[in-house]
A = this chain, B = another copy of it.
Amino acid sequence: MTERDTIPASGKAAYITEEVRRRIIEKEWRQGDRIPDEAALAAEFGVARATVNKALQLLADEGLLDRRRRAGTRVAVNPVRKATFSIPIVREQIEAAGKSYSHRLISQSRSPLPARRAEQLGLSPGEVLIHLRAVHYGDRQPFQLEDRWINPRAVPGIEEVDFHHLNANEWLVRNAPYLRAELTFSASNAGVRDARLLDTEPEQALLILNRTTWNDIGPITAVRLAFHPGYAMSATT
């Protein structure tokens, strides 16, 4: 048995998190096992109970531990792990890849909402919203196709904005913070128009990201993003 690493003066909670994670990975504590309670761990590590609490809460959020009052803390039997990905701003995503960003507005209009979108937004079909279609380019290569509906009632001031030279994503991010968002990934075959705009072949499989956001007034926007073939969206734990 090697000597225990010394506990740093600052970062004790992080140290405990890692140590507990290690004990689980190395099967010192097995799935379903009850682990020592907060008071016992606090004594073992020579820290306050609040510090242990912080460390264990983090692992519980991750899905590695199950914690219940009075019942204690157990190593999760079916660790339902969570993954997080950040929702990037297209421009930043493209520029982070070292490419030069540009975009082209295909259409901007006030149109009646089609049924599918109405359902997504929780509004009535036929209601008139702002409809935008745009393509985002990296080094002049099409990267992402955007099809967006915006609810002007949830976003005062949107009616006056001209998106020919302004990116809708960025404008909304800065001017219409949301309370809640829903997003889904799916795949679909490129239509003829999609293929032309993305400079690919019809029937090519495209990764689709649908996102709808709400604030306290109501739905803000529903957007369908189709990515250029080959693009992979990545997430980490």
Please report A residues at the B interface, Cβ cutoff 8 Å.
21-22, 24-26, 31, 63-64, 77-89, 92, 170, 173-174, 177-189, 203-208, 210, 215-216, 227, 229-237
CB distance A84 to B86 under 8 Å? no
State which of B21, B31, B64, B232 has its C-beta within 8 Å of the C-beta of A184: B232
State which of B177, B215, B229 has its C-beta within 8 Å of the C-beta of A79: B177
Bound CA span A78–B180, Å: 16
Bound CA span A184–B234, Å: 4
For the complex, would chain A's binding face be called helix, strand, loop or mixed by DSSP majority? mixed
CB distance A232 to B186 under 8 Å? yes
28 A-B contacts (beta carbon < 8 Å): A21-B179, A24-B177, A25-B177, A25-B216, A63-B86, A78-B89, A78-B92, A78-B173, A78-B174, A80-B89, A81-B87, A81-B181, A82-B86, A83-B84, A180-B237, A182-B234, A183-B235, A183-B236, A184-B232, A184-B233, A184-B234, A185-B185, A185-B235, A187-B188, A187-B208, A187-B229, A205-B206, A210-B232
Bound CA span A179–B24, Å: 10
Bound CA span A64–B181, Å: 14
* Cβ-closest chain B residue relative to A215: B25
Which residues of chain B are near A180, meaning CB under 8 Å?
Answer: 236-237
CB distance B235 to A184 under 8 Å? yes
Which residues of chain B are near A186, meaning CB under 8 Å?
Answer: 207, 230-233
State which of B31, B80, B81, B187 has its C-beta within 8 Å of the C-beta of A207: B187
